[in-house]
Structure 1
Amino acid sequence: MDVLSDAVAAMRTGRPHSARRDKYAPWGTRFAASEGAGFHVLLRGSAWLIPAQGEPVALGPGDVVFLAHGRGHALASGLDVPLEDAQPAKDGSLPDLPPPPGRSEPDTVMLCGAYQFDRGRTHRLLSELPEVVHLPACVGVDRSLRAAVELLGMELEEREPGSDAIVTSLLDTLLLYVLRAWWQRDRKGTGWSAALADPAVAAALRAIHGDPAHPWTVGELGAAGGLSRAAFARRFTALVGEPPLAYLTWWRMTTAGRLLRDESLPLRQVAERAGYTSEFAFAKAFKREYGVAPGQYRRRAP
């Protein structure tokens, strides 16, 4: 199984949204903190991204920025421009504003959007991201990401039949391309970028995500990566940040939460998919992890 796709699916809720934005200088918009994650793609012109923490980032055509932690930020045509608070609709989208009188061509054109996340189940893989993921445009680099951006821009501009479904799918694709591009560039010697690049640890992660209900042992997971039990346990813990069976338990509970939120399966089937043969044992473990019983969690889910 694909660990990156699973990590995103585990915390995604609702539908993402996006829109093309035409900006006429001078302009400045402040975005409040939220439970979601935002992104901006500069199609034309220039802009400044002003994060809640850290230094402003100059953006040029083709640049992509992803703000994973929802801490709030601002966008502006210049660092000395007054900022106006964004006024999003209930779904998080922003209303279109007409151009100023006498202005026909915008100075800056952007794609802006957001994803809704369940912050209570943030995967470690995503929690390691910096506040601002900045992917500058580079010729010949991240071609898949650039293709997704181009297709998304076309759909948002033309709005042909089927665009709603296509835009939603493209937004899901864009998020995965952004994350993939970041980890391919990041290449640290520790953390999840290193864990996904390590053959033994990556093999164990694929095994866990491919069949979380299996009664995995540390020895079995180590054998999947060609390591002894002790050597594998040390390497997995060092890179992932917790022992193999602790991660297995966390992922099982995360899988159970997603099934309760998104599916109408009987509790017995949810328990089985999470690796429990007893509904009682599953309910006890679930309440210990989430603080509420499975049925109550399901009723609370949006």
Structure 2
Amino acid sequence: MAMNPLDEILDGMRLQHALYACFQLRAPWGVSFDTGEYARLLIVSKGACYLKGEQRADPVLLEADTCMLIQPGVQFSLCDGKENSLVSCDTLARYPYAEPIIHGGDGVSTEIVTARFAFNKLAAEPLFNALGPMVHTRLKTEDAHAIKNILDVLQTEVQSRDYGTQLINARLVDVMFIKVLRALSRCASLGAGLLAGIRDPRMAPVLQTVHQQIAHPWSVEEMGALIGLSRSTFSALFKAAVGQAPLAYLTAWRIYKAKLLLAAGSQTIGQIAVQVGYDNESSLSRAFSRLEGVSPGVWRQRQRAGT
């Protein structure tokens, strides 16, 4: 089966160091989070809470079955009221959490489950650019049921401390991450972008074909012809769904693929150029420098130096 663009990204992300925790909270309570170098999944499995963050002017109410994906380097807090004092997540407990983390008073209860994980940030670039630093949505009934089943198995494994638990939990977090992404991709508030394009029944087959044949010298007319649309009609619909003009999107994806190959370090820049749809090293360098601000060679050197 051919992979769509999101499959390509997920295949390269390589989630690792995944850790899971369950918070059992009773009002009054407030917990602050700093994702640091990790991304975080978070699900309100019972009750409700308020979300506060740098990206939000006002607190946002998160009801039961709300899921969130938060990128690295984001600070936010959750609480049962709008003006609660906060305790750092790291102060409450340390990973791995074998038992639920109990915090707060004796009021209304809320349960939150969360998983943090590291990943290949370069591979995830198009996905996280499309999502933004912090995004949430209310799960549909079938999604909520599926994710709760995963959480039940996670909790059982964490408490069992049997051999293979760490491996099982890592794979379950992989599955939960994909389930949450699917739910987020159906969120209308995301607007135009990669996820919206993949969900668009007209644009999805075009994206899949273009990604499968990234080295082909695509024109807008040729892309439109894949679904029987004129150049102008296709271009307008593509931009409305994906948020970029067709050739701008194609160039951005080619440069993304070039960066992955440059980071792998096993091919010359000329070889990479041909693989991603450029005639030679010079043509890739021009496009690369325009988007990244440096040449492919300099970019590769910086990657190797870790700068």
What CA distance in whole angstroms lies between the structure 2 residues aligned with 1:120 and 1:98? 33
1:296 paired to 2:301? yes
Match of 1:225 among 224, 227, 232: 227
What's the offset of the Cα at 1:85?
3.2
What's the offset of the Cα at 1:243?
1.8
Residues 71-80 or 237-246, more deviating = 71-80
**2:22 partner amino acid:** R
What CA distance in whole angstroms lies between the structure 2 residues aligned with 1:150 and 1:62? 14
Residues 107-116 or 239-248, more deviating = 107-116
**1:64 partner amino acid:** C
Q: How does 1:1-302 map to 2 (within 5 A)?
A: 1-8=3-10, 12=13, 15=16, 17-23=18-24, 25=26, 26-32=28-34, 34=36, 36-44=38-46, 47-52=49-54, 53-59=56-62, 62-68=65-71, 70-87=73-90, 94=95, 96=97, 109-116=111-118, 118=121, 122-123=125-126, 126-128=129-131, 131-136=134-139, 139-186=141-188, 192=194, 194-261=196-263, 263-267=264-268, 268-292=270-294, 293-300=298-305
What's the offset of the Cα at 1:254?
0.6
Local SS of the residue matching 2:19:
strand
CA contact (8 A) 2:48 2:63 kept: yes
Local SS of the residue matching 1:251:
helix
**1:39 partner amino acid:** L
TM-score under structure 1 normalisation?
0.75
Deviations 1:82-138 (A, max 9, x none): 1123449xxxx75659978xx9xxx654322234473897427853558431325x5
Deviations 1:50-100 (A, max 9, x none): 333144344555442223575321123444431123449xxxx75659978
CA contact (8 A) 2:21 2:101 kept: no
**Structure 1: segments with no counterpart, 5+ residues:** none
What's the offset of the Cα at 1:40?
1.4
Local SS of the residue matching 1:157:
helix
CA contact (8 A) 1:2 1:206 kept: yes
CA RMSD of aligned residues (A): 3.9
Local SS of the residue matching 1:74:
strand
Percent identity over paired residues:
28
CA contact (8 A) 2:52 2:78 kept: yes
What CA distance in whole angstroms lies between the structure 1 residues aligned with 2:146 and 2:254? 32
Local SS of the residue matching 2:274:
helix
What's the offset of the Cα at 1:249?
1.0
CA contact (8 A) 1:41 1:62 kept: yes
Task: Label 1:298 to 1:65 Cα distance change in 2 as closer, same or farther (>3 A).
Answer: closer
Task: Label 1:291 to 1:170 Cα distance change in 2 as closer, same or farther (>3 A).
Answer: farther
What CA distance in whole angstroms lies between the structure 2 residues aligned with 1:271 and 1:192? 24
Local SS of the residue matching 2:169:
helix
Local SS of the residue matching 1:132:
strand
